[in-house]
């Protein structure tokens, strides 16, 4: 027995079979029953939602000689004539390939002859928006004064291209895209009738890929059925339709999380080996990222996403160290990749390098870029924005960074070759630790020339950013040996400029100056003479708070050394028994 495609075999035969367009079926049925039939209809909607099928059902219903005015009997002369290959009363043309005036003249010629078998002569013009202007004009006259036995049914996917003169003379019906549930339940019904064993997940794949079109859903279903026979699993359906298995994406997200380039390349290779093309691969990954975000935020349930609870839990728990912000950045990179891919001569390389960049989504790089953006006043040309940036920076500055007692906040500085960088607001404060790095690097002359200096910064919005390397002493006439050392090595200035520009990620104008201590600095000099107890009180906020709250007096303090490698405290205190 010849194989009949499911799409044809299960094409709806009456309005009650139509899925998803109940509003149209109802209106048409009411018009038929009430005898208020329009002579021209326009069916609009996206492809595969049942426009042409509905046109044929309408033609059959109107011409049926059976007793039920709403359901064609299928056995009368007219029904038989229409279901045969070349019906006498129904004339169907595809305007996509018959756009000319002559094609329409042929239609108009036929209009004048009465129907042979049924009550009406019915003209179905598919893709009517494709007709030329001349053809539309020729049609218009007939539409204005049609013979009583003539009915036109136009169908179009692009109603905006149909002239207003035509639109004003037809009764318009808007066909809806089908929901996944509507497609799935129709396929489920066909499976039951055909004795096909299909899992829910398999039917979901058709419903999703169909993207609102019942015809596409049935086509995919047919395609899969030809290979799987009556046992349809999700895996077999995916492999036949070239849809990447979700496991590929779980391994990709894991590779990205672990900065595992090899894992990223392997995923691409695995996909290519099982015949997945890049377009569905990237579409699938986009959907995967979306599902990750949705399930993390619990914005949608497993049901809403048409996935199993088990898969939902896996989405929710995978890639834990990838933040929601990073997920959005990955999505953005993916969208850029999809846009670029169609112009690429080497799509595989492009996909691989983008996945590699995703795996090396380096926070530091972005931080440097962000700092540079804040530092560059040109990027904040808007005064309000500039002000906002300054406010935020000031707020960040006023909040002391969390730190262990006695530790320098910039102790994480790596030396001149290190990667730490600073904003304009913090460069002065960071300067002592940057200087300490020079000594570590072993260039004692340069280190000595910088020792004891202060960095003074000018207007934060000025470009290049003004910085003065300042030698501070008892008087403005500084004759310290480190200042002399700088004068003997004028090349140190250029070197310092390079270092600072690297730290700040912006251009600076560097000057050198000398001055006497300010009052505040003298106070610091005074502090240097204070007792260690007093300094402890000043330095350690908890001690100060104890003193204030309980009027406590510090009588004894033990320095606690922190063993950095073992993360344990090795200091002992015999007095802490109570």
Q: Cα 34–55–134 angle (5° rounding)?
A: 110
- Considering only 25, 49, 76, 510, the residue that binds Zn ion (CB under 5 A) is 76
**In this structure, are residues 64 and 122 in contact, taking their beta carbons and an 8 Å threshold?**
no
Shorter beta-carbon distance to Zn ion: residue 64 or 472? 64
Q: How many CA atoms lie within 13 A of 527 on its CB side?
A: 12
What is the dihedral angle through the alpha carbons of 270, 274, 278, 282, rounded to the nearest 10 degrees?
A: -70
* 3-state class (DSSP) for residue 471: strand
Q: Tokens standing for 366?
A: 């972005």
Shorter beta-carbon distance to Zn ion: residue 66 or 286? 66
- Considering only 62, 64, 153, 237, the residue that binds Zn ion (CB under 5 A) is 64
Shorter beta-carbon distance to Zn ion: residue 20 or 72? 72
Burial 346-374 (b: 16+ CB within 10 A, else e): ebeebbbebbbbbbebeeeeeebeebeeb
**In this structure, are residues 87 and 63 in contact, taking their beta carbons and an 8 Å threshold?**
no
Q: How far apart are CA 121 and CA 123, in angstroms?
A: 7
* Min separation Cβ 194 and Zn ion, Å: 26
Query: Of the listed pieces 62-70, 98-106, 304-312, 480-488, which binds Zn ion according to CB under 5 A?
Result: 62-70
Query: Of the listed pieces 64-72, 293-301, 450-458, 520-528, which binds Zn ion according to CB under 5 A?
Result: 64-72
Binding-site size, Zn ion (CB under 5 A): 6
Residues 6+ apart with CB under 8 A from 310: none
Question: What mask of x and - would describe binding to Zn ion in positions 14 to 53, judged by CB under 5 A?
Answer: ----------------------------------------
Query: Of the listed pieces 63-71, 81-89, 147-155, 158-166, which binds Zn ion according to CB under 5 A?
Result: 63-71
Shorter beta-carbon distance to Zn ion: residue 82 or 421? 82
Q: Are strands 568-569 and 562-563 parallel, antiparallel or unpaired?
A: antiparallel
- Tell which residue, 287, 297, 283, 247, has the closest CA to residue 267: 247
Query: How far is C-alpha 81 from the geometric centre of its chain's CA atoms?
Result: 53
- Tell which residue, 122, 104, 118, has the closest CA to residue 41: 122
**In this structure, are residues 120 and 150 in contact, taking their beta carbons and an 8 Å threshold?**
yes
* Min separation Cβ 327 and Zn ion, Å: 58
- The residues with which 562 forms a beta bridge, in sequence order, are 569
Shorter beta-carbon distance to Zn ion: residue 62 or 196? 62
- The residues with which 155 forms a beta bridge, in sequence order, are 43
Query: Of the listed pieces 66-74, 91-99, 348-356, 551-559, which binds Zn ion according to CB under 5 A?
Result: 66-74
Give the chain's end-to-end CA distance (angstroms, integer).
95
Q: Tokens standing for 153?
A: 């049914």
* Min separation Cβ 64 and Zn ion, Å: 3
Give the position of tokens 């595992």: 260
* Min separation Cβ 275 and Zn ion, Å: 48
Question: What mask of x and - would describe binding to Zn ion in positions 78 to 107, judged by CB under 5 A?
Answer: -x----------------------------
Shorter beta-carbon distance to Zn ion: residue 77 or 222? 77
- Considering only 11, 14, 29, 66, the residue that binds Zn ion (CB under 5 A) is 66
Q: How far apart are CA 500 and CA 124, in angstroms?
A: 77
* Min separation Cβ 14 and Zn ion, Å: 11
Query: Of the listed pieces 70-78, 249-257, 396-404, 477-485, which binds Zn ion according to CB under 5 A?
Result: 70-78
* Min separation Cβ 68 and Zn ion, Å: 9
Q: How far apart are CA 358 and CA 253, in angstroms?
A: 9
- The residues with which 152 forms a beta bridge, in sequence order, are 40, 123
Shorter beta-carbon distance to Zn ion: residue 80 or 513? 80
Q: How far apart are CA 314 and CA 189, in angstroms?
A: 31
Shorter beta-carbon distance to Zn ion: residue 72 or 217? 72
Shorter beta-carbon distance to Zn ion: residue 81 or 127? 81
* Min separation Cβ 72 and Zn ion, Å: 5
* 3-state class (DSSP) for residue 507: coil
* Min separation Cβ 78 and Zn ion, Å: 6
Shorter beta-carbon distance to Zn ion: residue 74 or 280? 74
Task: Based on the shown chain and the rule CB under 5 A, indicate whether residue 57 belongs to the binding site for Zn ion.
Answer: no
* Min separation Cβ 88 and Zn ion, Å: 14
* Min separation Cβ 60 and Zn ion, Å: 7
- Considering only 73, 140, 293, 311, the residue that binds Zn ion (CB under 5 A) is 73
Q: Which chain residues interact with Zn ion by CB under 5 A?
A: 64, 66, 72-73, 76, 79
């Amino acid at each position: 027995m010849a194989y009949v495609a499911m799409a044809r075999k299960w094409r709806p035969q009456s309005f009650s079979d139509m899925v998803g367009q109940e509003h149209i079926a109802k209106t048409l049925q009411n018009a038929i029953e009430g005898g208020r039939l329009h002579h021209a209809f326009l069916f609009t909607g996206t492809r595969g939602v049942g426009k042409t099928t509905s046109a044929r059902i309408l033609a059959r219903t109107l011409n049926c000689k059976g007793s039920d005015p709403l359901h064609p009997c299928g056995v009368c002369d007219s029904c038989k004539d229409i279901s045969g290959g070349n019906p006498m009363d129904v004339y169907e043309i595809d305007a996509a390939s018959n756009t000319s005036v002559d094609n329409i003249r042929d239609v108009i010629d036929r209009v004048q002859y009465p129907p042979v078998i049924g009550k009406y002569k019915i003209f179905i013009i598919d893709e009517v928006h494709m007709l030329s202007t001349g053809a539309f004009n020729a049609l218009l006259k007939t539409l204005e004064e049609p013979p009583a036995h003539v009915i036109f049914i136009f169908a179009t996917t692009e109603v905006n291209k149909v002239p207003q003169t035509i639109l004003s003379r037809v009764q318009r019906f808007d066909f809806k895209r089908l929901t996944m549930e509507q497609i799935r339940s129709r396929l489920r019904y066909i499976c039951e009738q055909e004795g096909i064993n299909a899992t829910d997940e398999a039917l979901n794949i058709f419903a999703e890929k169909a993207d609102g079109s019942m015809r596409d859903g049935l086509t995919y279903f047919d395609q899969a059925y030809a290979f799987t026979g009556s046992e349809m699993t999700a895996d077999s359906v995916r492999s036949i339709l070239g849809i990447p298995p979700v496991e590929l994406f779980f391994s990709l997200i894991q590779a990205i999380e672990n900065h595992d380039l090899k894992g990223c390349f392997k995923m691409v290779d695995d996909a290519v080996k099982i015949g997945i093309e890049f377009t569905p691969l990237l579409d699938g990954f986009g959907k995967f990222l979306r599902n990750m975000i949705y399930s993390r935020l619990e914005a949608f349930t497993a049901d809403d996403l048409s996935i199993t609870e088990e898969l939902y839990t896996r989405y929710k728990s995978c890639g834990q160290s990838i933040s929601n912000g990073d997920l959005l950045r990955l999505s953005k990179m993916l969208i850029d990749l999809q846009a670029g891919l169609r112009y690429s001569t080497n799509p595989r390389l492009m996909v691989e390098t983008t996945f590699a960049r995703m795996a090396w989504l380096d926070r530091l790089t972005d931080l440097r870029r962000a700092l540079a953006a804040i530092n560059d006043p040109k990027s904040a040309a808007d005064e309000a924005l500039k002000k906002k940036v300054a406010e935020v920076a000031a707020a960040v500055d006023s909040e002391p960074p969390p730190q262990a007692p006695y530790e320098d906040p910039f102790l994480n500085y790596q030396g001149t070759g290190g990667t730490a960088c600073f904003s304009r607001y913090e460069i002065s404060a960071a300067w002592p630790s940057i200087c300490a790095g020079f000594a570590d690097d072993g260039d004692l002359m340069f280190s000595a020339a910088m020792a004891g200096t202060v960095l003074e910064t000018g207007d934060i919005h000025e470009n290049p950013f003004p910085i003065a390397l300042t030698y501070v002493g008892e008087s403005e006439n500084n004759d310290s040996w480190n200042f002399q050392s700088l004068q003997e090595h004028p090349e140190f200035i250029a070197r310092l400029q390079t270092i600072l520009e690297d730290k700040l990620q912006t251009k600076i104008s560097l000057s050198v100056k000398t001055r006497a201590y300010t009052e505040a600095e003298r106070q610091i000099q005074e502090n240097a003479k204070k007792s260690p107890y007093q300094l402890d009180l000043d330095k350690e906020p908890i001690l100060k708070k104890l003193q204030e709250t309980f009027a406590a007096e510090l009588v004894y303090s033990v320095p606690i050394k922190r063993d950095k490698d073992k993360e344990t405290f090795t200091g002992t205190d015999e007095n802490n028994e109570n």
